[in-house]
Amino acid sequence: MWSVRSEVCRLYIGRNLVVAASPGRVLRQGRPEGQPLKETLGAMDLDARGAAVAVLLGCAVSPLVCVEYPPTVRKFKERLLFAGAACARHMVVAPSSLHVEFDPAQPQVAAPMLRDDREAIGVWSRRHSLRLSRVVPAWCCATELASSSAASSLLVQDTDGLTLMVSDAAGKGLRGSSAPCGFGLDPDPLLRRMRVGLGLPTAASVHLRFTPPEEAERKTAWDDCWSVVA
């Protein structure tokens, strides 16, 4: 559900910034604290009617949430309820306010986002005659980019969030944690707490950073916006 790579237009959504990109054009729109996404998107006209659009969600907008299920909970709908409750606790919102997805092959890792944000993306896409092709968390996209790495852990950073991920001891799944953290802040104290919470050693992780393009850069391929931080 998170794997398509042929889109023409792209949309990045962070807590404080939204960036839309079509061939030859980049729009950046600041998002004041607490502003509904529908208002931010309402000020943006990508002017690419008929094109497909892929949406990348920042780590603070769609965090990685680990879910522990009782042994008796095996059906998809039951797991979705448990995942929704865990995500609601993590984001400090009501479960009914969230849209939650997980990969059935790795149900212990969930990707939530606010239902209002999901609806706002759909409304904006339809209003501008764009075909919504996928909505993917930044941390999930990063796992695709770093799939060839032999590192045991991966740190993902975007404009206002961090996600730390590690493969379990048997190599059969992921564990991780996400937290808000802007580019201008020192991530080390937060990262140390995240490592302790996940039981990780202090060894360095592969660190991938997503930096949305400036309007003058005219980058339209999100892969060009990822960099490895030494």
Which residues share a beta bridge with 57? 13, 137
For residue 151, the model assigns a pLDDT of: 62
Domain annotation covers residue 199: yes
Domain annotation covers residue 3: no
- Give the full edge-to-edge strand order of the sheet including 206-210: 174-180, 161-167, 153-158, 206-210, 226-228
| Number of structural domains found in the chain | 1
Cα distance between the two ends of the chain: 31
The residues, any chain, with a CB within 8 Å of residue 205's CB and separated by 6 or more, are: 151, 152, 153, 154, 155, 164
CB atoms < 10 A from the CB of 134, how many? 16
- To the nearest whole number, what is the mean pLDDT of the chain? 85
Domain annotation covers residue 41: yes
The DSSP line for 3-40 is -----SEEEEE-SSEEEEEETTEEEEEE--TT--HHHH
Domain annotation covers residue 36: yes
The residues, any chain, with a CB within 8 Å of residue 79's CB and separated by 6 or more, are: 67, 69, 73, 102, 107
Domain annotation covers residue 4: no
- Of the candidates 29, 19, 2, the one whose C-alpha atom is nearest the C-alpha of residue 211 is 19
- Of the candidates 209, 203, 202, the one whose C-alpha atom is nearest the C-alpha of residue 181 is 209
C-beta separation of 224 from 172 below 8 A: no
Range of the domain at 165: 9-228
Domain annotation covers residue 129: yes
pLDDT in tens, 155-203: 899 998 999 988 765 555 678 899 988 767 777 888 888 888 887 766 6
> Percentage of the chain surpassing pLDDT 90?
48
pTM (predicted TM-score): 0.88
- What burial letters (b/e) apply to 12-27, b meaning 16+ CB within 10 Å? bbbbbbbbbbbeeebb
- Structure-token pair, residue 219: 């980058």
Domain annotation covers residue 2: no
pLDDT in tens, 91-150: 999 999 999 998 877 888 999 999 999 999 999 999 999 999 999 999 988 877 666 555
